Amino acid sequence: MKIAEKLQHKYALSSKGAKDMIKAFWACTIGNISQMLPVGVLFKFTTDLLEGNPLKNKVGFYIVGVLVCLAFIAIAQYFQYGATFYSTYVESGVRRRSLAEKLRKIPLSFFGKKDLADLTNTIMADCAMIETASSHWIPELIGAMISTTIVVISLFFFDWRMALAAVWVVPVAFLIVAYSRSLMNRINRRGSKYKVACLDGIQEALETVRDLRAYNARETYMKGLTKKIKAVESHSIFAEFANAAFVCSAQMILKFGIGTVAVVGSGLLIKGEINVITFFMYLLVVSRMYEPLQVSLQNLAAMIATDTQCERMDEILSHSEQTGADSLNNDGYDIEFKNVSFSYEDGESVLRDVSFVAKQGEVTALIGPSGGGKTTVSRLAARFWDIDGGEITVGGMDVSKIDPETLLSMYAIVFQDVTLFNNTVMENIRIGNKNATDEQVVAAAKLAHCDEFVEKLPEGYNTLIGENGSELSGGERQRISIARAFLKDAPIILMDEATASLDVDNESLIQEALSELIKDKTVLVIAHRMRTVDGADKIVVLKDGVVAEQGTPEELHGTEGIYSHMINMQMNSENWKLA
């Protein structure tokens, strides 16, 4: 694997970003070497001074030499800035977009294993950490190592004994910091868990503040949250101390280099094996050579600290994607499940040998006890996940061979849990069809009876509804979701308790509107209210992940099965009264 490919994989870089990082290595190398040029001018000046050479005739030479050094340093620093900071900030934007694009393509099963705080932390905090590493730590470390190697090789040409006295501390110091990798990785992984737990706690507190107040649980909850915050604080202090123990020890070892150069140089000078000028030159060079190495030791420790962030990011970028053809070849819109099995986790089966057909022009209702697999079936039909066995087809077309976004162009989905955005009513409905005109959006809204509450809003359809529709009631939010489905007007409709948040009057109105929407379409409905599925053409009863019953309402009602039992139980519950 080439260096650029390794960097690309290790630090979540684009191809251009990896090449830019290599350029940054050389820019930092040249920048460090430019800092050594004044040492050469000073060495020449000292040589002339000690040898008694006249300095008056060389004033111009020294002035020009100093100006040349300053100009070279300025140019080197300019290119170093562009190669490290500017390129890194551009790449940071590319990295975040790449992560977002990757998250768009990976199966939803991945999100079932992650919580929002963890993913947010990866996209924001981990990306920021890698950005700092790419602009400050990595190029400076590699640049310092390359420039130091060049200087060390030059020193061996003058006197190998003095060079050895100057260099022996370098590998020792770097080995001390490198040895800390396994320990610091364990510490940083634990720290990531504490931070995610803390973010989860803060997010949960903000989302549940109403319930915490209602049940006077604020004080109890805050005690737990304070404990999580303290855990992050304590661990951060411990991690910083552990890191400092290795870095400071390595830097202290590096200081011994100047001492050994002085001791060895003094011995060789007394023996007459080197002259004063050589001795002075080595002292000058090593004092300058160790300066970038001191920073490099800190950079190496910081790079080690990014291992955890890189692993977390690589987990996303290396995850398998859902791919498939970009064109549809279906014949009609019948949805057929053929011996489908599925599990969210290995060994935990959710569906087993599920087979049924939801025909075009009919309403197929999925019912059954909670946890039976109803919602899972609807999600699999839209390829939110990929099945473990069997086959799901739409119009004879295997959904697993179609790109998910292309496949979803055929679906309009009304979820039980409605997601709205902090935007206007108009734009929240327009999500159903981004190319829809305002008139088309309003028409869809009227079909979903949104106009009844929109007219009461301060700015009508242009009213901002708050984060996740916080300014609206549950029923109003659900109606916006149904309006989206009307606007999309797709040939397949999936409804998961679409009218669960509506009162009886509005439910009847919406059901009338839905009856217009579903004509000649394939409709898959999940419902717990038996009256919701009274008009269904077919009932599929799911229990414990298998199809327990299926048939028309009339056929199942005549049996003493699960469907008949659920109808009787619901009738009894409707007659229940407070004592």
pLDDT, tens digit, for every residue of 164-196? Answer: 888 888 888 888 888 888 888 888 888 888 888
**How far is the CA of 480 from the CAs of 202, 410, 486, in angstroms?**
29, 20, 10
Q: Is 405 helix (H, G, I), strand (E, B) or coil?
A: helix
Residue 120 gets the label, from left (phi > 0), alpha (psi -120 to 50) or beta, of alpha
Helix (H) or strand (E) holding 139: helix 138-158
**What pLDDT score does 341 carry?**
92
Looking at the chain, which residues constitute the CATH 3.40.50.300 domain(s)? 324-410+492-500+518-574, 417-489
| Nearest partner of 313 among 464, 71, 579, 133, judged by Cα | 133
**What pLDDT score does 437 carry?**
92
What is the pLDDT confidence band of residue 335, given thresholds at 50, 70 and 90?
Answer: very high
pLDDT digits (tens, 9 = 90+) for 439-469: 999 999 888 888 888 888 888 889 888 777 7
Architecture of domain 3-313: Up-down Bundle (1.20)
What is the pLDDT confidence band of residue 391, given thresholds at 50, 70 and 90?
Answer: very high
What is the pLDDT confidence band of residue 576, given thresholds at 50, 70 and 90?
Answer: low
pLDDT at 326 over 90: no
**What pLDDT score does 244 carry?**
83
At the fourth CATH level, which superfamily is domain 324-410+492-500+518-574? P-loop containing nucleotide triphosphate hydrolases (3.40.50.300)
What's at 179, amino acid-wise? Y
**Other CB atoms closer than 10 Å to residue 323's CB: what's the count?**
12
pLDDT at 392 over 90: yes
| Nearest partner of 49 among 281, 277, 284, judged by Cα | 277
Most confident of 116-130, 220-234, 239-253: 220-234
pLDDT digits (tens, 9 = 90+) for 4-63: 777 777 777 777 777 888 888 888 888 878 877 777 777 777 777 766 667 667 777 778
Share of the chain above pLDDT 90, in %: 7
Distance between CA atoms of 547 and 364, rounded to whole angstroms?
13
What is the pLDDT confidence band of residue 578, given thresholds at 50, 70 and 90?
Answer: low
**What pLDDT score does 393 carry?**
93
Q: Is 203 helix (H, G, I), strand (E, B) or coil?
A: helix
Q: Is 543 helix (H, G, I), strand (E, B) or coil?
A: strand
**What pLDDT score does 345 carry?**
66
10 Å CB burial of residue 93 (0-12, 13-18, 19+) is exposed
**What pLDDT score does 452 carry?**
83
Architecture of domain 417-489: 3-Layer(aba) Sandwich (3.40)
| Nearest partner of 262 among 279, 278, 274, 276, judged by Cα | 279
Residue 414 gets the label, from left (phi > 0), alpha (psi -120 to 50) or beta, of beta
**What pLDDT score does 220 carry?**
85
Residue 14 carries which DSSP code? -
The region of weakest confidence among 107-111, 207-211, 461-465 is 107-111
Looking at the chain, which residues constitute the CATH 1.20.1560.10 domain(s)? 3-313
pLDDT at 133 over 90: no
**Other CB atoms closer than 10 Å to residue 471's CB: what's the count?**
17
Work out the mean pLDDT of the chain and round it to a whole number. 81
Share of the chain above pLDDT 70, in %: 91
**What pLDDT score does 503 carry?**
67
Say which residue, 32 or 408, is predicted with more confidence. Answer: 408
| Token code pair at residue 573 | 């519950």
Average pLDDT over every residue of 149-161: 82
pLDDT at 289 over 80: no
pLDDT at 577 over 60: no
pTM above 0.75, yes or no: no
pLDDT digits (tens, 9 = 90+) for 466-516: 777 777 887 788 888 888 888 988 999 888 876 665 666 666 766 776 776
pLDDT at 401 over 80: yes
**What pLDDT score does 575 carry?**
60
Tokens 């699960």 correspond to 562
10 Å CB burial of residue 148 (0-12, 13-18, 19+) is buried
